Amino acid sequence: DTGVSQDPRHKITKRGQNVTFRCDPISEHNRLYWYRQTLGQGPEFLTYFQNEAQLEKSRLLSDRFSAERPKGSFSTLEIQRTEQGDSAMYLCASSFSGTGRSGELFFGEGSRLTVL
């Protein structure tokens, strides 16, 4: 297993366009997270999946944002009608809920979004 992978790594789009990011977690991990990170800040929680169920969404996630995790495998994060304020690094992370482990998050390399 090569870890958490995210695609695309970089996306430049014009304001008002829709963008979609994909995350492939580590295969045995049932928990999946999306975070947003802006320059000089720590990651901010966006949403959380346990298997295919989306259990929590942050208030940061406006109606323009939607995330899915069909079949509890990969996940997508879509941003509709992008705004310049959406420019950020979008990080995906996964973890394992088995006992005896610290449950640390394993992060992908992120998808950097630039909205012009």
Partner 1 sequence: AQKITQTQPGMFVQEKEAVTLDCTYDTSDPSYGLFWYKQPSSGEMIFLIYQGSYDQQNATEGRYSLNFQKARKSANLVISASQLGDSAMYFCAMREHPRASGTYKYIFGTGTRLKVLA
Binding site for partner 1 (CB under 8 A): 31, 33, 35, 40-45, 48, 50, 55-56, 89, 91, 93, 95, 97, 102-110, 112
Q: Are strands 65-68 and 75-79 parallel, antiparallel or unpaired?
A: antiparallel
Angle at the Cα of 42 (from 5 to 54), degrees rounded to 5?
55
74 or 107: CB nearest partner 1: 107
Instruction: Report residue 87: phi and psi, to 5°.
Output: -60, 120
In whole angstroms, what separates CA 19 from the centre of its chain? 13
Residue 53, exposed/middle/buried by CB under 10 A (0-12, 13-18, 19+)? Answer: exposed
> At closest approach, how far in Å is the CB of 81 from partner 1?
26
27 or 102: CB nearest partner 1: 102
> At closest approach, how far in Å is the CB of 4 from partner 1?
9
7 or 44: CB nearest partner 1: 44
> At closest approach, how far in Å is the CB of 111 from partner 1?
10
